[in-house]
Structure 1
Amino acid sequence: MGATTFAGPATNIHHVGMSVADLDGALTFWRAFLGTEPRWRTVLKGSYLGRHVGYPGVRIDVAFVDLPGGTVLELLDYDVAGKEALAEGTANPGNVHLCLAVDDARASWHAAVAAGARPLVPEGPVEVDDGPNSGAQVAYLRIHDGITLELFQPPGR
């Protein structure tokens, strides 16, 4: 999909955030898959934070990971009682996925599996056979916390 200019209230993607159960565990996947260290890791605890996220007095162990293309992935481990894992099925309302464009879907799929991802299709990426992305190679994998990572190799690569 090409770049689009908007005249609306947003100007750009600043970051994508994912709540995680264990920040070290999530970073283990991203380090292995991307081969890079997080840009920044800290504990957020500012006075504004509880009001901002709806948990007064919260502390959040957080890391920022640079994704290819310039988007920052913010991994957040909230220090609150009663956290519950969400159902991981992609058909569940509220479920989101992160899609990364790749040059070689099969090689990226193998790298993700080696880093700890669980493939939804055990034989690897499938070919898109309909619509505007016909000929593309795609794969859904589950990473830490049941989050879905999609790999997308554009048609013709």
Structure 2
Amino acid sequence: MSQTAHTIEAVHHIGMTVASLETALRFWEAFLGKPARWTTVLDRPYLSRVVGYPNVAINAAFIDLPGGGVIELLDYRVAGRTANADATANPGNVHLCLKVADARSTWQRAVDCGAKPISPDGPVAIDGGPNIGAQAAYLRIHDGITLELFQTPRKDRSA
């Protein structure tokens, strides 16, 4: 097999399993300021083979992110679902990091849309390592999912 066959080309989408599609859409549509590109019920026979749930049906929505990428919100119609603990340190916890132009105003927008800040004072200045001078903030959104906002260091404009 050639090396090309194993080449990763790009991120296709980021999937998030949610307890309520409506609740998740309320946050993302308000936060991004635009509606989902597509909402549907996914229930084709191939899907059961992919996800491992016989005869599965999933309420789904697809939301385009600025700069490319898609968030896929998935509300599985199966019995016995349980929420994951929302602590970032728990194994299996994943976060979505969005690069933003202004961490403070984007943080405030997320809070206004219902996100719960980890640091109540807002974005934190990074004071060491390769991202020195940047700002970052973690927030909890629907279903305990962690959203990170990351503002790259501002360039010295006097140079």
TM-score by length of 1: 0.94
Larger Rg: 2
Rounded to whole Å, the distance in 2 between the matches of 1:57 and 1:34 is: 33
The alignment status of 1:41 with 2:39, answered yes or no, reads yes
The alignment status of 1:130 with 2:155, answered yes or no, reads no
Rounded to whole Å, the distance in 1 between the matches of 2:10 and 2:107 is: 28
C-alpha root-mean-square deviation of aligned residues, in Å? 1.2
Aligned to 2:73: 75
Query: How far does residue 9 in structure 1 lie from its aligned partner after superposition?
Result: 3.1
Aligned to 1:3: none
Rounded to whole Å, the distance in 2 between the matches of 1:9 and 1:108 is: 34
Which digits, 9 at most, give the CA deviation of each residue in 1:64-123, with x for residues without a partner? Answer: 000111100000000000001001111111100000000000000000000000000001
Which digits, 9 at most, give the CA deviation of each residue in 1:112-153, with x for residues without a partner? Answer: 000000000001000000101000010000000000000000
Question: Per residue, is there more helix in 1 or in 2?
Answer: 2
The alignment status of 1:142 with 2:136, answered yes or no, reads no
Unpaired stretches in structure 1, ≥5 consecutive residues: 1-5
Rounded to whole Å, the distance in 2 between the matches of 1:54 and 1:131 is: 42
Alignment identity in percent? Answer: 62
What is the SS of the residue equivalent to 2:130? coil
Rounded to whole Å, the distance in 1 between the matches of 2:45 and 2:65 is: 29
Structure 1 residue runs of 4 or more that deviate by more than 4 Å after TM superposition: none
What is the SS of the residue equivalent to 1:132? helix
Rounded to whole Å, the distance in 1 between the matches of 2:149 and 2:72 is: 19
The alignment status of 1:121 with 2:119, answered yes or no, reads yes
What is the SS of the residue equivalent to 2:129? coil
Aligned to 2:55: 57
From 99, 108, 112, the counterpart of 1:101: 99
From 109, 112, 120, the counterpart of 2:110: 112
State the one-letter code of the partner of 1:142: R
Query: How far does residue 30 in structure 1 lie from its aligned partner after superposition?
Result: 0.5
> How many residues matched?
152
State the one-letter code of the partner of 2:147: L
The alignment status of 1:10 with 2:40, answered yes or no, reads no
